Amino acid sequence: GNSVTQMEGPVTLSEEAFLTINCTYTATGYPSLFWYVQYPGEGLQLLLKATKADDKGSNKGFEATYRKETTSFHLEKGSVQVSDSAVYFCALINMDSNYQLIWGAGTKLIIKP
């Protein structure tokens, strides 16, 4: 079946540090991959997505590359800010999931000034 595994949080970093949040998936076929972000007290927002192997999604300084050989979609940012503090969710969607989003558990990110 389909599943998404994310690194456990919380991840605590200092401002301007480099960020990596790991995400690996199990899926048949060729899923599309997403990162959603949930800021405190808010709903989820799409951060970036990639729909095929080797695609790189990017937004607001965040990047993730769809790696089919390692079934991974790790989220990276070169220099984090306090305002990036949030919960980050990795998710996939494909025909086998009946095009429903399959979610990772979420990773809480805390950025200290």
Partner 1 sequence: DSGVTQTPKHLITATGQRVTLRCSPRSGDLSVYWYQQSLDQGLQFLIQYYNGEERAKGNILERFSAQQFPDLHSELNLSSLELGDSALYFCASSVDAGTSSREQYFGPGTRLTVT
Site residues for partner 1 per CB under 8 A: 32, 34, 36, 42-46, 49, 51, 89, 93-94, 98-101, 103, 105-106
Question: Shortest distance, CB of residue 64 to partner 1, whole angstroms?
Answer: 14
Question: Shortest distance, CB of residue 9 to partner 1, whole angstroms?
Answer: 13
Question: Shortest distance, CB of residue 49 to partner 1, whole angstroms?
Answer: 6
Which of 19, 89 has the CB closer to partner 1?
89
**What does the alpha-carbon distance between residue 111 and residue 81 come to, in Å, rounded to a whole number?**
7
Question: Shortest distance, CB of residue 10 to partner 1, whole angstroms?
Answer: 14
Which of 13, 101 has the CB closer to partner 1?
101
Which of 19, 106 has the CB closer to partner 1?
106
**What does the alpha-carbon distance between residue 101 and residue 88 come to, in Å, rounded to a whole number?**
15
Q: Which residues contact 26 (CB under 8 A, 6 or more apart)?
A: 1, 2, 3, 4, 5, 71
Assign residue 106 a region (left: φ > 0; alpha: ψ between -120 and 50; beta: otherwise): left
